[in-house]
């Protein structure tokens, strides 16, 4: 039965993706609005099965109505479930999430995370489900099925008059666990692979040709790039085992953060990139069109940092099913202006702050506003403490490089 339904969903994928992938630049209905703005909601780690937690569903529905983004990017670990999850349960979980966007007539796309493919389903089975239940509002597609992963694609954003390409969104499947060429699971998280990077370079050049110059872009993936450690931590002179995380092809780092490089938000847990690095960040620096790489994965992080001209940004999880905290739990809004597309604005909208600003939502979702206010106060204290450490951290950076 599972294979039969998968075949049916695959046929839906074929007929829907043919229209998209045949001429993505002409048919994707994304453009700057009449005010010259393009708004993106980054929603990460919903990470629930069926039925999903009502607080999260009500939060998503209410912020969609409040912020009315031009597109939502689901940042991976979108639905999960037990290893014995039935096909009906999985389809119900996907449909429930998609229904929020369909009801709001909201375009969305997605990347997959390390947990999506768990619960006995592969991502190439899941993508057709999102396309089916997302109806015409799901813009995700698998541009080159032979690449690592599922659903790596890009979405151009047109000018407000629809006459030219002004911006672009890159979506990468950053995988689950790193499997080498011999099929061995190396026991750590995956990364964007070389064939995906080559695809990006080719598409970026073609996009520049179509647009008459480099097109400013944002990249989205689930697992953060390894260079986040270069931005936020000092390399270690000695290997202290678990006390010194290893990433970026064997480089060793201390756990002392460069707090001066945290431009905004919280670093509540150590980032979890792959220990392998196949050159994604380096390629994007050289290509000179990606302004920022957005990730989820680390549920309680909401930081912004920067390295070599590219911002590395983590969006906190929206989940109530997996781990999180009330200081950061929420989503991220990103705004790009047509008259200045090489810059963007971004802010995290937490459930706690949104509940305090929207009493009807707080009551409907049964959010305790006293606790929400307390969490926001605690967050402000922690941000002040972080600011206080920046001078000391800068001195350490000057000494140790």
Domains and CATH numbers, the chain: 2-351 (3.60.21.10)
- The tens digit of pLDDT for each residue in 96-130 reads 999 999 999 999 999 999 999 877 788 989 999 99
Question: Dihedral of the CA atoms 82, 86, 88, 89 (nearest 10)?
Answer: -20
Q: CB-based contacts of 375: which residues, under 8 Å, 6+ apart?
A: 325, 326, 327, 352
Cα distances from 176 to residues 32, 116, 143, in angstroms, run: 34, 9, 20
Q: State the residue for tokens 């909601």.
A: 41
pLDDT class for 247, splitting at 50, 70, 90?
confident
Cα end-to-end span (Å), the chain: 59
Res. 248: pLDDT tops 80:
no
Share of the chain above pLDDT 70, in %: 92
Q: What is the pLDDT of residues 67-80, one digit of tens each?
A: 999 999 999 999 99
Contacts of 237 (CB under 8 A, 6+ apart): none
| The predicted structure's pLDDT at residue 193 | 97
Token pair for 353: 């702050």
> How far apart, in whole angstroms, are the C-alpha atoms of residue 190 and residue 39?
29
Does position 19 have pLDDT exceeding 60, yes or no? Answer: no
pLDDT band of residue 399 (cuts 50, 70, 90) is confident
Across the chain, mean pLDDT equals 90
**Which structure tokens are listed for 382?**
């922690």
Phi, psi of 288 (to 5 degrees): 65, 35
Q: Tell me: the pLDDT tens digits for 354-380?
A: 999 999 999 999 999 999 999 999 999
Is 212's pLDDT higher than 50? yes
The answer to pTM > 0.85 is yes
Average pLDDT over residues 246-271: 88
Judged by average pLDDT, the poorest of 21-35, 138-152, 274-288, 318-332 is 21-35
Does residue 138 register a pLDDT over 50? yes
Q: pLDDT per residue over 291-307, tens digit each? A: 999 999 999 999 999 99
- pLDDT of 18 > 60? The answer is no
Let me know: does 40 contact 170? Beta carbons within 8 Å: no
Q: Which of 8-17, 47-56, 235-244 has the lowest mean pLDDT?
A: 8-17
Cis peptide before 51 (omega within 30 of 0): yes
Residue 66, pLDDT > 50, answer: yes
- According to the model, what pLDDT value does residue 400 have? 64
> Would you say residue 394 has pLDDT above 60?
yes
The kind and range of the H/E element at 110 are strand 108-110
Residue 8 confidence (pLDDT) above 50: no
* pLDDT tens track for 144-203: 999 999 999 999 999 999 999 999 999 999 999 999 888 899 899 999 999 999 999 999
**327 close to 54: Cβ distance less than 8 angstroms:** no
Band the pLDDT of 230: cuts 50, 70, 90.
very high
46, with CB counted inside 10 A (0-12, 13-18, 19+), is buried
């Amino acid at each position: 039965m599972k294979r039969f339904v998968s075949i049916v969903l695959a046929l839906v994928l074929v007929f829907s993706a043919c229209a998209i992938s045949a001429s993505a630049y002409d048919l994707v209905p994304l453009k700057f609005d009449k005010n010259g703005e393009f708004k993106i909601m980054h929603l990460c780690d919903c990470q629930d099965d069926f039925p999903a937690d009502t607080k999260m569903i009500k939060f998503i529905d209410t912020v969609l109505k409040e912020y009315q983004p031009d597109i939502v990017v689901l940042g991976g670990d979108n639905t999960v479930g037990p290893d014995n999850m039935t096909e009906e349960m999985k389809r119900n979980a996907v449909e429930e999430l998609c229904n929020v966007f369909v009801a709001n007539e909201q375009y969305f796309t997605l990347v997959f995370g390390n947990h999506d493919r768990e619960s006995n389903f592969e991502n190439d089975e899941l993508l057709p489900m999102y396309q089916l239940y997302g109806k015409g509002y799901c813009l995700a597609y698998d541009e080159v099925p032979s690449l690592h992963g599922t659903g790596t694609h890009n979405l151009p954003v047109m000018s407000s008059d629809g006459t030219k390409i002004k911006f672009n969104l890159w979506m990468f499947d950053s995988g689950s666990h790193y499997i080498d060429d011999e099929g061995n699971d190396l026991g750590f998280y995956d990364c964007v692979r070389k064939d995906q990077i080559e695809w990006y370079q080719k598409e970026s050049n073609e996009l520049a040709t179509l647009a008459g110059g480099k097109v400013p872009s944002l990249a989205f993936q689930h697992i953060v790039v390894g260079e986040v450690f270069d931005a936020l931590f000092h390399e270690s002179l000695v290997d202290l085992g678990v006390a010194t995380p290893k990433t970026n092809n064997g480089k060793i780092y201390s756990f002392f953060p460069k707090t001066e490089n945290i431009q905004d938000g919280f670093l509540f847990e150590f980032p979890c990139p792959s220990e392998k690095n196949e050159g994604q960040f380096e390629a994007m620096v050289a290509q000179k069109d990606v302004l920022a790489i957005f990730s989820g994965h680390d549920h309680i992080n909401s930081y912004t940092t920067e390295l070599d001209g590219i911002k590395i940004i983590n969006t906190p999880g929206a989940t109530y099913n997996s781990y999180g905290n009330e200081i950061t739990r929420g989503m991220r809004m990103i705004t790009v202006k047509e008259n200045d597309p090489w810059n963007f604005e971004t802010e995290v909208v937490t459930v706690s702050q949104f509940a305090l600003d929207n009493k009807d939502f707080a009551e409907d979702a049964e959010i305790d506003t006293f606790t929400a206010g307390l969490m926001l106060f605690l967050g402000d204290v922690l941000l002040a403490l972080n600011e206080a450490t920046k001078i000391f951290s800068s001195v350490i950076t000057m000494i140790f490089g």
